[in-house]
């Protein structure tokens, strides 16, 4: 095993949801979690830098795993031939958005389970939420439940009777709920990045920017990332 034991592993994308999730894991564990980020050929590599900045704030170790999703393409987020779409009002208003990356959360969770087992972590936290992202099949409770079964039967830890737990504490939360919770927890929301496009500043013209803006508005709060 490389590296010390950790209490929790958090999938950290540098976005709003995963940053609030990291704050929750820190609160629940009373110690800095291990943040797991992926370099998967995404357009918006700025998210890795933001995730690193969030980790620095919490004194959390960041493990960046590279895996090249461009090798198979199929998403507007990784394939330069597919346009990032204009906002539709809600990600869930189209059957499945072109920003869907085939099996992305399965891949991220599978790696997280491996890391959690190797580092002795009790649980993996991920910031999926079903309310705003019901267009993505791998952001739903039924998906998380299916992966819990994988952890139970597919790992040493599961066979030994204490499977790595998979926690999706925001899965029933609205974006406004997440904004409020993050603010209460003192999470560094000003460091987070949601935009599907490259920086230096959020485009305010994609679905992710739109959802974020509506979340802050509904929470009655200003987005600190836009004030920086």
Q: Which residues bind a copy of itself (CB under 8 A)?
A: 1-3, 63, 65-74, 79, 96, 100-107, 109-111, 113-115, 117-119, 137-138, 140, 142-143, 146-147, 149-150, 152-156, 158-159
Instruction: Report long-range pairs for 132-136 (Cβ below 8 Å, ≥24 apart).
Output: 132/90, 132/91, 132/92, 132/174, 132/175, 132/211, 132/215, 133/91, 133/92, 134/91, 134/92, 135/91, 135/92, 135/93, 135/94, 135/95, 135/96, 135/97, 135/100, 136/91, 136/96, 136/97, 136/100, 136/105
Q: Which is nearer to a copy of itself, 101 or 209 (CB)?
A: 101
Cβ 136 to a copy of itself, closest distance in Å?
9
Q: Based on the number of CB atoms within 10 Å of its own CB, is 83 exposed (0-12), middle (13-18) or buried (19 or more)? A: exposed
Cβ 36 to a copy of itself, closest distance in Å?
9
Q: Which is nearer to a copy of itself, 156 or 162 (CB)?
A: 156
Q: Which is nearer to a copy of itself, 18 or 62 (CB)?
A: 62
Cβ 58 to a copy of itself, closest distance in Å?
20
Cβ 138 to a copy of itself, closest distance in Å?
4
139's tokens: 């952001």
Cβ 207 to a copy of itself, closest distance in Å?
17
Q: Which is nearer to a copy of itself, 139 or 191 (CB)?
A: 139
Q: Which is nearer to a copy of itself, 37 or 192 (CB)?
A: 37
Q: Which is nearer to a copy of itself, 48 or 179 (CB)?
A: 48
Cβ 49 to a copy of itself, closest distance in Å?
19
């Amino acid at each position: 095993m490389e590296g010390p034991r950790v209490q929790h592993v958090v999938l950290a994308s540098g976005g709003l949801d995963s940053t609030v999730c990291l704050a929750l894991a820190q609160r629940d564990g009373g110690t800095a979690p291990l943040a797991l980020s992926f370099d998967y050929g995404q357009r918006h590599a700025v998210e890795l830098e933001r995730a690193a900045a969030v980790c620095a704030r919490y004194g959390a170790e960041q493990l960046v795993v590279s895996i090249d999703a461009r090798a198979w393409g199929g998403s507007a987020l990784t394939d330069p031939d597919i346009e990032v779409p204009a906002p539709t009002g809600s990600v869930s208003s189209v059957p499945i958005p072109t920003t869907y990356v085939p099996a992305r959360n399965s891949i991220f969770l599978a790696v997280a389970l491996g890391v959690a087992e190797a580092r002795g972590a009790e649980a993996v936290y991920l910031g999926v939420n079903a309310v705003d992202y019901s267009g993505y099949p791998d952001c739903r409770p039924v998906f998380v439940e299916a992966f819990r079964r994988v952890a139970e039967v597919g790992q040493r830890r599961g066979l030994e009777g204490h499977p790595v737990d998979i926690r999706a504490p925001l899965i029933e939360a609205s974006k406004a709920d997440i904004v409020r919770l993050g603010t209460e927890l003192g999470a560094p929301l000003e460091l987070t990045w949601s935009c599907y496009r490259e920086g230096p500043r959020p485009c305010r013209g994609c679905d992710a920017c739109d959802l974020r803006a509506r979340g802050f508005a509904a929470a009655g709060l200003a987005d600190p990332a836009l004030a920086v």
